[in-house]
A = this chain, B = another copy of it.
């Protein structure tokens, strides 16, 4: 998306939160904060929030010398989600509409986002699961279901660790052999990489690739040629989370975005209330 003015102060706050997450060194905190302010001041409206985050997280890795700042948190969230997986699989299989149930659980998993909520606790995830069927839902489940059922090539753009375990529930509902799951090309925030995807067994139920980029979203120009080819060849693209939404909402492909609406900017862009489980269909060309 084009950068919204509201994203700027959020970006600045999150840069400081990330620095504090990474290290107790207050010099690094201040340095990251100042760099965030500088790149925000110099930003133009063609930039996306994920692009700015990508830059600041690279700097954070450079300054701390830590290749994967969120490694512990990622392993913790994956382990917790895996613990919940059997009961969730039962819940889906016993649901009146297993597909719809899996969609809603996959969106609920999007709560596991340390970019917007650095202090996320396990209790938040359990609460999100309890609320999964009572939360407001927006989207055309019928269109989503029929489009997926007839698609030859489905590209599923994953988002965060932990969340990818919930994605398994939905991917298990899709036609076997038709799904490619793409994860980030390198560590950024608690976003899932190949290592994380394999750790939760995603590679056992679908082809898993990485997109070649360390942005917390899908910035196509920054992705590998192999990923871009896959993106362009897919019949349907499913994209999880705000980062993918922010970076792909003007893409020239048809995309189903699955996300929880977490901030006022995306709420305004989608016309949906914060907290909504959203299945937003982006049709590249005007309909009709």
Across the interface, which residues of B come within 8 angstroms of A8, CB to CB?
Answer: 12, 16, 33, 37
Across the interface, which residues of B come within 8 angstroms of A38, CB to CB?
Answer: 37, 41
Q: Does A287 contact B (CB under 8 A)?
A: no
Residue of B nearest to A16 (CB): B5
Instruction: Tell which of A29, A37, A38 has the most Cβ of chain B within 10 Å.
Output: A37
Give the complex CA separation of A13 and B11 in angstroms.
11
Q: Does A34 contact B (CB under 8 A)?
A: yes
Give the complex CA separation of A12 and B29 in angstroms.
17
Copies of this polypeptide in the complex: 2
B33:A37 contact, CB within 8 angstroms:
no
> Which one, B9, B30, B34, contacts A12 given CB within 8 A?
B9
Give the complex CA separation of A37 and B5 in angstroms.
12
A29:B16 contact, CB within 8 angstroms:
no
A1-16 with Cβ < 8 A to chain B: 5-6, 8-10, 12-13, 16
Give the number of chain A interface residues (Cβ < 8 Å).
16
B16:A6 contact, CB within 8 angstroms:
yes
Q: Does A220 contact B (CB under 8 A)?
A: no
Give the complex CA separation of A41 and B32 in angstroms.
11
Q: Does A40 contact B (CB under 8 A)?
A: yes
Give the complex CA separation of A34 and B34 in angstroms.
14
> Which one, B9, B30, B33, B34, contacts A16 given CB within 8 A?
B9
Residue of B nearest to A26 (CB): B5
Across the interface, which residues of B come within 8 angstroms of A34, CB to CB?
Answer: 41
Give the complex CA separation of A40 and B40 in angstroms.
11
A30-69 with Cβ < 8 A to chain B: 30, 33-34, 37-38, 40-41
Distance from A6 Cβ to chain B, minimum over Cβ atoms (Å): 7
Distance from A3 Cβ to chain B, minimum over Cβ atoms (Å): 10
Give the complex CA separation of A79 and B270 in angstroms.
39
Across the interface, which residues of B come within 8 angstroms of A5, CB to CB?
Answer: 16, 29-30, 33
Across the interface, which residues of B come within 8 angstroms of A16, CB to CB?
Answer: 5-6, 8-9
Distance from A46 Cβ to chain B, minimum over Cβ atoms (Å): 14
Across the interface, which residues of B come within 8 angstroms of A33, CB to CB?
Answer: 5, 8
Instruction: Tell which of A5, A9, A12, A38 has the most Cβ of chain B within 10 Å.
Output: A9
Give the complex CA separation of A30 and B7 in angstroms.
12
Distance from A22 Cβ to chain B, minimum over Cβ atoms (Å): 14
Give the complex CA separation of A29 and B9 in angstroms.
13
- What mask results when residues 194 to 213 of chain A are scored 1 for a CB within 8 Å of chain B, else 0? 00000000000000000000
7 A-B contacts, Cβ less than 8 Å apart?
A5-B29, A8-B12, A8-B37, A9-B10, A9-B12, A34-B41, A41-B41
